[in-house]
Amino acid sequence: KSASGEDAFFAATVGGSTGHVAFGLADGVGGWQDSGVDPSDFSHGLCGLMGGTAYMHEGLDNGKNVEPRALLQMAYDAVISNPRIMAGGSTASLAVVDGDGNMQTANLGDSGFLVLGPGKVVHRSQVQTHAFNTPYQLSKVPPKMAAQHAIFGGQAHFAETPSQADVETHRLKHGDIVLFATDGVWDNLSAQDTLGIVTQVMVEQGYWFRSHNFAGAETMLNESLVRSIAKKIDSEQHTKYLPGLLATAVMREAKRAGLDRRRDGPFAKEVNMRFPQEGWQGGKPDDIAVVVCVAVEDA
């Protein structure tokens, strides 16, 4: 945590089953720093609790998988009742996938995810905002702070609940890529930018290839190579593990774009559209978290 910033992430098997996985991330709301609160306490606590709760889930024997919004609610309730987390807030975006490729997602705020297939964006989640750059967020506001705000005014803290998260269901195909990221990515990279980064990695590693047997040299999936992705990572596979390669490549490009004062990303374009008098140029430096899932169907 000491060097990880205000973003947090988790990935865990559900109930210890290798065929059921929960994963996601949270972006601590930086505005809490003005109140003397470390924003990472809330986001890291939330993700740690989501991962632990998923792993301890006991319903699989009865055919009941954990649902992402329920998982978020349980973690949120635990954060609210935890006296060591004094205050704070974060966005949240997570998924639960079962062994048949069924994925359910819950998204609250401006983090989010892409589903990518060979050479295409299959789906992109929608952001939830009150206004520009003001995302929906879970919050813990101590009674004393709320009372002071009611008397003296000051910065308002939005406080959504997990019940307000958007829930979606998807059926993943063999080789589909699910990429979750905080706004440190989405403010600097578009969906097409991200697809280009992913495509470069997938082609270089041989997982995607161009087929000239189809019109337009369609991008195809190397199904057998995807099926050979290791289920367990050892020291030899660590540097070549596909989800890690993809997450690292997207993170690096998002950081590069965020520090580039001459490259206008999605955030800069929206600022210039809404507030042209601001004259914003270049990227938006921010904390970055990326979690990647690759769907693999056993032979």
Q: What is the pLDDT of residues 170-182, one digit of tens each?
A: 999 999 999 999 9
User: Where residue 87 falls among pLDDT bands split at 50, 70, 90?
Assistant: very high
* In a domain? residue 107: yes
d(CA 125, CA 105): 9
* In a domain? residue 1: no
- For the chain, where are the E strands, in sequence order? 7-14, 17-27, 88-90, 92-97, 102-108, 112-117, 120-124, 129-131, 134-135, 138-140, 166-171, 177-181, 208-211, 218-221, 290-294
* In a domain? residue 203: yes
* In a domain? residue 231: yes
Query: What one-letter code names the amino acid at 226?
Result: V
Q: What is the CATH number of the domain that holds 42?
A: 3.60.40.10
SS (H, E, C) 249-294: HHHHHHHHHHHCCCCCCHHHHHHHHHCHHHCCCCCCCCCCCEEEEE
Tell me which residue range forms the domain holding 193: 7-295
Residue that wins the pLDDT comparison between 230 and 10: 10
* In a domain? residue 2: no
User: Where residue 159 falls among pLDDT bands split at 50, 70, 90?
Assistant: confident
DSSP letter assigned to residue 232: S
State the average pLDDT for the chain.
91
Residues facing 264 on adjacent strands? none
Whether the full predicted model's pTM is greater than 0.75, yes or no, is yes
Q: Is the pLDDT of residue 263 over 80?
A: yes
Q: Is the pLDDT of residue 150 over 90?
A: no
Average pLDDT over residues 92-106: 97
Lowest pLDDT segment from 142-151, 170-179, 206-215 = 142-151
* In a domain? residue 154: yes
pLDDT (0 to 100) of residue 149: 60
pLDDT (0 to 100) of residue 63: 83
User: Where residue 234 falls among pLDDT bands split at 50, 70, 90?
Assistant: confident
Q: Say how many domains are in the chain.
A: 1
pLDDT (0 to 100) of residue 158: 76
Residue that wins the pLDDT comparison between 292 and 31: 292
User: Where residue 194 falls among pLDDT bands split at 50, 70, 90?
Assistant: very high
Q: Is the pLDDT of residue 157 over 70?
A: no
